[in-house]
Chains A and B, each alone.
Chain A
Amino acid sequence: MSRILRSLSVASVCLVFVAGLAFVIWEISAVATPVDLPARLAENLERSSVENPVTAVLLNFRSYDTLLEIGVLVIAGIAGISVARTSSLEDPELRTSDELLYALQRWLIPLMLLLAGYLLWAGSDRPGGAFQAGAVLAASGVLMRLGGIPMDFLRPGLMLRLGLSLGFAVFLLVAVASALHGGEFLAYPPEMAKTLIVVIETVLTLSIAMVLLALFVSAPVNNAEEPEEGGS
């Protein structure tokens, strides 16, 4: 009885919330914004050296957000491997020896790698970019792992940690290099902006794929435990 009552009260709270939110959205949609950001963006797009506005926002205008966002992803990766089995991330029980999957893989994986490359390349002038490419790359990694293809670099050694941090480190180096040249943090020199953005996109793709794959692989857990301070 109390459970029903509770559900009802939560439901009514949520309904009130949705109604309020919808009303506010309706209100806001009726008036014009004082700042026209898309127009300003269009004016400055040429200076950003990227043709796709979304990529320009991500990697030039608001590149600080993107840098930190990759940081968040690396944190998740670190937390993931910190609870992973310490000796090896390869768990034979999780492999399948399914003939069909194996055959399918030989078709799919080259195709997926090609698609990842295409998405990365497309990012400069149409929808696509590092994250989409990284996600596809990670997915092909997951398929490979399920199919039992050994991936030694995923052992929690230096290689894995290098892979996790590579994209972030390169991005950070570019950011600080421009600051050392007397500009602001993350201000690319205009003549090199295009090259730098392509480099950053490429290493980010690899790193994003690596983090996602590491998080998938590190799901099996170790038994090492830390007792609470002073707990017996």
Chain B
Amino acid sequence: MTPSLLYALAGAALCGIGLFGFILISHLLRKLLAFNLMGSGVFLVLVGLAQHRSGPDPVPQALVLTGIVVAIAATALAVVLIRRYYHLAGKTALDDAARETLRDQGSRQVREEPGE
């Protein structure tokens, strides 16, 4: 067991914690934080697993740098959208029944849309 492998296993745990939060939390900002937690977990797996055998490996390090920039871009876009959504709708969750995301929401929501 090298420290790198420990990082990779910690990354796996972070992925799980993040996934738990991402599914259960309906507050959008916290959901976004859960996503970032999951992202960090994936990056840890990427670097830890590759460096476990042969020591420092610049390729996954570069990949993670790219991945971080992509994650920052996605997070920033999400924050801007969430902020605007909050401004217009006054809500911090997608809807009151956001807990049931995995069931078919599309159709129900269409029928509930008011005023047309």
Contacts and interface: CB of A to CB of B under 8 A. Distances in A.
Interface residues of A, number: 50
A25 interface: yes
A232 B66 contact: no
B81 A14 contact: no
Interface range for B: 35 or more
B89 to A, nearest CB: 11
B23 A58 contact: no
Q: Could you tell me the dominant secondary structure of chain A's interface residues?
A: helix
A192 B49 CA distance: 36
A65 B16 contact: no
A56 B61 CA distance: 11
B49 A28 contact: yes
Contacts, number: 125
A37 B86 CA distance: 47
A32 B53 contact: yes
Nearest to B45: A25
A101 interface: no
Interface of A: 3, 6-7, 10-11, 14-15, 17-18, 21-22, 25-26, 28-29, 32-33, 36-38, 41, 53-54, 56-58, 62, 65-66, 69-70, 72-73, 75-76, 79-80, 83, 129, 131, 208, 211-212, 215, 218-219, 221, 225, 231-232
